[in-house]
Amino acid sequence: MSELKKDHILGTGGGAVAAGAVGAAIGGVVAGPPGLALGAAAGTAIGAILGSKASRAVDDSGNVGAFESSYQTMPYYIAGMGWDDYRPAYQMGLDAHPQSKAGTAFSAARGDMEQRWDQVKGSSRLLWSEAEPAAAHAWEDLDKVRRAEAINEHDTPVG
């Protein structure tokens, strides 16, 4: 599962739980036990939708922090390098992925990213050849999220 997808699931679940509790409390006060059940169900559904949209907005704006907890476990990690070395590469991979174009190969943007690396890397000590796998990782994770969202949007029944 991608790092970005994990954050999306947490956002959806967190929204569902929080709004379900609020809905249950309001329903219980207004209509007693039946209102509690109905309020919990309605609150959970609304919370899941709002939580999903909020986490998707974070993903689409480039949630580079999703990679911070795992970058040192990646096969491309270079011992002695820190998050400040890898963060610009992940951010570049997220930023370069075209909006709403799931399925676009990383190789389509690789050349442009290589040319821009020295301008965007800031204090990163990584050469492009060392940063490229992290940029590709971020690109591919975002692409997986966008593919899943595209499938879900087409499979959502209209009622």
d(CA 22, CA 42): 10
Indicate the number of domains in the chain. Answer: 2
The residue type of 57 is A
> Is pLDDT of 131 > 90?
yes
Q: Percentage of the chain surpassing pLDDT 70?
A: 60
- Give 83-113 pLDDT, tens digit per residue: 999 999 999 999 998 865 778 889 989 999 9
Judge if pTM exceeds 0.75. Answer: no
Last residue of a domain, one of 11, 28, 61: 61
Structure-block tokens of residue 26 = 């309001």
If one compares 73 and 43, the residue with the highest pLDDT of the two is 73
Domain encompassing residue 127: 64-155
* Domain match, 54 and 80 both: no
* Domain match, 48 and 125 both: no
**Residue for token digits 């929204």?**
15
Name the pLDDT band for 63 (thresholds 50, 70, 90): confident
* Domain match, 11 and 43 both: yes
Mean of all residue pLDDT scores within the chain: 78
- Residue spans of alpha helices (H) in the chain: 3-60, 83-96, 107-120, 128-155
